[in-house]
Amino acid sequence: MISTTANAPLLHFSTSHVPEADRIGIWREVYGQMILRLDVEPLSERPFEADVHLRALPGLALVSGSISGARDRRTTALLSDGIDDLGLAVHWGGCNIVSQRGRETKLGEGEAVILSCGDSATVIRALPCRYLGVRIPRTALLALAPHAEDRIGMPIVRANPVLELLKGYVAVLLADGNATYELGRLASDHVYELVALLLRGDTMDNPTVADRGGVRAARLRAIKADILKHLGNRELTINALASRHSVTPRYIQRLFENDGHSYTEFVLEQRLAHAHRFLCDPCYANRSVSTIAFEAGFGDLSYFNRAFRRRYGMTPSDVRRQARSRQ
């Protein structure tokens, strides 16, 4: 089964390059039996397709992707491996029916459910189903959410701010395969905390919840992603970000200060890096320096030139000439 004792590189499994006749056999043996300890059965009425990414962090296993035309079962025979972790399955789209402990749940888009690796279970994905999975040692989760087992098999509705933060944070962890063991351990603790908050039903309106390490880390990741998405918008302001993320401007400032820099410094650094990449890219050789500066979000060309030279020790034109000489 996928190890959760240390950091592991991101694994990618896909049936796209496997002959259709061989897909289910390979998938059952490698992905089902060896990695997730599941029995995988094809659904005869649907072709089997799968494309998933997996990653292990200390005490945490993550999986994200899409599967269709399969029935996954945690059978009585497989339970003999002694693995009793608890898992959160988040449904992003398609058809997903989950059965465990006498409960059958058809998950709607954006909903989630807690499952137990220590009990028999069945997951049916007839149509293409996009999902995210988080697996946590049972003792670790129960220490934070003692009544977690009472929620097994019960859907968690999508209109939940904690769930949205968790999904965004896990997506970043799956994309970043370079964390050290210490950072991986910290990220695992953050995920534990977010899942526990979700199961306890704590609301984001509670100031003590907003100041928890997992919530702060997930919010900072979400806000940074929002900044990068709108980097070229010169109307990007801390007030606009605060409104979109339902927090105060001062809360955002504290998040960045705790991360070792200010909000303004982060935005400036990202805009300068964006401009530097474009100046070095031959695909943008026909764009003027001023156009690149404006597209990176700078409204004042003189300020851009000064800030750029301070950061890189050269003018934008010097960087472009140097990049051309290397081609």
Note the pLDDT tens digit of each residue in 75-128: 999 999 999 999 999 988 877 899 999 889 888 888 899 999 999 999 998 888
pLDDT for 207 equals 62
How far from 321 is each of 282, 312, 326, CA to CA, in Å? 11, 14, 9
Question: Taking a C-beta distance cutoff of 8 angstroms, is the pair 184, 57 a contact?
Answer: yes
Nearest CA to 195 out of 64, 58, 57, 87 is that of 87
Mean pLDDT, range 128-138, rounded to an integer: 92
Token pair belonging to 307: 């800030």
| Whether residue 178 has pLDDT greater than 70 | no
Token pair belonging to 220: 């900072």
Distance CA 219, CA 247 (A): 10
| Whether residue 1 has pLDDT greater than 70 | no
Distance CA 41, CA 118 (A): 20
For residue 86, list its beta bridge partners.
116, 136
Token pair belonging to 55: 């990653």
Mean pLDDT, range 29-33, rounded to an integer: 85
Query: What pTM, to 2 d.p., does this model score?
Result: 0.80
Question: Taking a C-beta distance cutoff of 8 angstroms, is the pair 37, 48 a contact?
Answer: no
Place of tokens 């934008």: 316
Token pair belonging to 282: 């031959």
